Homo-oligomer: A and B are copies of this chain.
Amino acid sequence: MREVFQQELTEVRERLVTIAELVAVSIENATIAFNTSDVNLAEQVIAEDDRIDELALSLDELAINILARQQPVARDLRIVVSALRISASLERMGDMSSHIAQLARYRFPEKVVPKGLRGTFAEMGRLDVSMAKKLVELLRTEDLQIAEVIRNEDDNVDDLHLKVFDKVLGETWKGGAVDTVDATLASRYHERFADHAVSIAKKVQSLATGDWVVASA
């Protein structure tokens, strides 16, 4: 019974890695679509979000089945409950990729990234992609140093998020309302994507350290 359970925990972790990989692809494509106004790639990101949703749902069902059949306690129970939460965060990260792609699609054939913010959004996108790829490695290896790097990258995303508002609300801003709306929403989606990555990194950290209270924060 115990061996079966360990196999099932391995299955849970592998499925989380698979979903995280799809999320990494989705944010990479979403940020390319966004920064280059590639409407076909945007459509692809939006379509493929269904797959992330399905896999997250299926993982939730597996986790609940494990709870019912294996009745885990202590750390094992925390792992399964954390898997449910990590799955929810990954699903939302896929939604953020899809939202970023939708912005590119709405404005096509116009460019969605407002002038004066190209560099900022390119850098925000680069950080989101980097965090998503590191998340795959973190889930695969549970190397907690990666969790620290993810948290540091999120600080940089937050700085860029504030920079977008400084720009949009500054004296030199020449954008119209469309540019302002696009910049505001895009920045928010990039920032939320990074927040979810940090939330997952914290859960992996607290599973490793046994510091449960921080885990749920």
Contacts and interface: CB of A to CB of B under 8 A. Distances in A.
Interface of A: 53, 57, 60-61, 64, 67-68, 71, 73-74, 77-78, 81, 84-85, 88, 165, 168-169, 173, 175, 177-178, 180-181, 184-185, 188, 212-213, 216-217
Given A84-B85, A184-B185, 5 more contacts: A57-B216, A68-B74, A165-B181, A173-B177, A180-B184
A169 B181 contact: yes
Copies of this chain per assembly: 2
Contact of A85 (B61, B88, B165, B173): B88
Given A169-B181, A177-B180, A181-B165, A67 B88 contact: no
Contacts of A212: 61, 64
Contact of A81 (B64, B73, B178, B185): B64
A57 B213 contact: yes
Contacts of A84: 81, 84-85
Contacts of A71: 71
